[in-house]
Structures are given as C-alpha cells and as structure tokens.
Amino acid sequence: MSLSRLTHVFTPASLALLVGTLACGSSDPTGSGGAGRLAFTTWGEAYIEDRIPPDPGDGSGFIDGWSVRYDTFLVNFQNIVVADIRGEMAGTLQSSKLFDNTLAGVKPIVEFDALPAQAWERVSYEIAPVTATTALAEGVTEEQKAMMIAGGYSLYVAGTATRADAGEKRFAWGFAIGTRYDECHSEQDGRDEAGVVVTNNSSVEAQLTTHGDHLFYDRLQASPDPAVPTSLRFDALAAADANDDGEVTLEELNERVLDVRSYDPSGLGAVTHGAFVTSLARTVGHFRGEGECTISGLL
C-alpha cells in the first residue's frame, strides 16, 4: 500500500498526524478505476453571512418578527475521516482548524489528492473545543483563538437580534461542547448518497455546512405531526434579558425555564432555554448543504 498524496491548506506544523492509505479491493461503483480529488470546505450560507430575516410567510424566518445578524460565527473543525463502508480509511485529518463563517464565501479546509475513484461511504468529522495547536483560517485572530481556549469553546456565536417595536438584543454565546458527526450523507442527483463518490480525474467537494438558524428553533426534533412545523423564535430569548441591559447571555438563558407553550424539547430534556440552545448547538454541523450526519457527543 502507498500513502495517498495530501494537498493541504494547513501549514505543515499544524498537522498533528496524517494517515492515508489506499484501500485494496474496495467497492468501486464507478467501475472506472483511477483516482480523483476530494476537497473539504466549509460555508455558513446566507443565514450566517447575511442575516436570518423575519418570516415572510413560508416559515423561513422568525415567526415572531425578529431578524438576526451574526457578526461572529466561530466553529472549530477537527478529525475529518474518509473511509469506505468497511472502515478502510482513505484519509484523515486529526488536527483542528478554526473558521469564522460570517466571512463570505466557501472556505477550504483540506484536500485529499489521488483518492481511489470509488464510493467512500463513511465520512465523519468533529466540532470540538479549540486547543493550542488549532490552526486559524484566514480572518480568524489569535485573540479569538485565545478566547475560545479560555472558554473551552468549540462554537462561538455573537450577533444582534432586531425587531422594530422591540429594539435590539445582542448576544454572544460560547458553547463548551464537543460533537461528532458520523456517517454523513446527503442528497445527490435525487438520491441519498452516503459519504462521497470520487470519480476518475475529477474533483468533488464535501462541504461541512454550518446552519446558523438552528440555534433559534422551537423544537429539538421534528414533530411527529407533519402539520406542526419547526419554527424560528426569539421572543422568549429576548425576554430572558433579566437585567434589561440589551444583551441576552447564556447565563440568563440558563436561568430561564423553558416556555413550554412555544418550545418543545421533543423528548430530549432541556428544562431551560440555555440547555435548549446548547442542545441545538450540536445540530449546527451539516454535510454538503442539507445533508446530515449521526450526532454523538464528545463532551
């Protein structure tokens, strides 16, 4: 076996360990042999780069009339693994890199060159707390890294919620959680595709998409009743500003008992709005747009 070449966008010093092996005799639905390139990227989409609007009537915005604009959306990716269905690894990146997805555009994380052209069904990654060895993406500062380390954060979001008749509420929430996203899959050409399919002499992108609206959902899981939607809300969060200083802190949310008339923990606990938002923070990570992964907790 030989190591697959890795074209990476990290500085060499930031790579803790790279292991790449060619899988022997793995499934190859393309039947073409050869090799291709797999590029991991990240993007926050319009909800993070621009704003989350009030609902225009289709459920795509805040149903209680708020809008949210992020000014910081720091997310730390680590331990990206590409493997086939038997667990034979094609490539892995164990080190971590911190991104701010309020910065415009799709951002490169890592590229795997010369991956055998075949299906790589087992793609996984983690959003984990920043450490001293975490690399910084373009536009992320050392001060931000230090803040993340001090708080034990894997995800940090800050922004402003606005409603004409209610003014503004600022927020800055750091989440000291670690989440693993396993068996990522997405819809490609109308069918569900596990992981990615690498084809000969071509390049495929595996985007680790972050969904900034999830933090404002009113349910932790979809309702069993299809007539009951999952909606975006901010009223109860605004009301948690106990000292009325214009900022809603995570501490204030942790003191605010969940408003059960508007929020449903969906069988998953979360007695306070702080616990609710923290649970939702684990759902921020997605795959290739709307694709999803099996979530498990690191901490």
Partner 1 sequence: MLQKQVQISLRRPSRAPLRAAALALLGSAAALVMALGVEACGSDSGTSGARVALATRVTLADGALSFETAQGWSVTLTRAVISTGPFYYFDGAPPLVRLEAQPLWQRAAAVLGVRSAFAHPGHYEAGEALGQMLDPWSVDLLAGPADLPMGEGVTGLYRSASFSFTSPPEGPMAGELASHAAVVEGLAERAGEAPRRFRAIADLADVERSAANGYVDGCQFDELDVEGDGLVTVAITPKVWFDLVDFSELAPTADDSAPEFPLDSQPKIAFSLGLAQLSAYEFSFAPAP
Instruction: Judge contact between 266 and 224, C-beta under 8 A.
Output: no
**Is there binding between residue 258 and partner 1 (CB under 8 A)?**
yes
Number of residues engaging partner 1 in binding (CB under 8 A): 47
How many Cβ atoms are within 10 Å of 18's Cβ, its own excluded?
18
**Is there binding between residue 226 and partner 1 (CB under 8 A)?**
yes
> What are the C-alpha distances in Å from 209 to residues 105, 270, 289?
11, 25, 6
* Minimum distance, C-beta of residue 46 to partner 1, in the bound complex (Å): 10
Strands 6-8 and 191-194, by their bridges, are unpaired
**Is there binding between residue 208 and partner 1 (CB under 8 A)?**
no
Task: Indicate which single residue of 34, 108, 152, 265 sits in contact with partner 1 (rule: CB under 8 A).
Answer: 265
Which of 272, 194, 200 has the alpha carbon at shortest distance from 236? Answer: 272
Instruction: Judge contact between 4 and 112, C-beta under 8 A.
Output: yes
The one segment of 101-109, 152-160, 163-171, 275-283 that binds partner 1 by CB under 8 A? 275-283
**Is there binding between residue 87 and partner 1 (CB under 8 A)?**
no
* Minimum distance, C-beta of residue 203 to partner 1, in the bound complex (Å): 26
Task: Indicate which single residue of 40, 112, 171, 217 sits in contact with partner 1 (rule: CB under 8 A).
Answer: 217
Instruction: Judge contact between 135 and 98, C-beta under 8 A.
Output: yes
Instruction: Judge contact between 125 and 184, C-beta under 8 A.
Output: yes
Task: Indicate which single residue of 230, 235, 239, 254 sits in contact with partner 1 (rule: CB under 8 A).
Answer: 230
Which residues of the chain form contacts with partner 1 (CB under 8 A)? 55, 58-61, 211, 213-214, 217, 219-226, 228-232, 257-258, 260-261, 264-269, 271-272, 279-280, 282-283, 290, 292-299
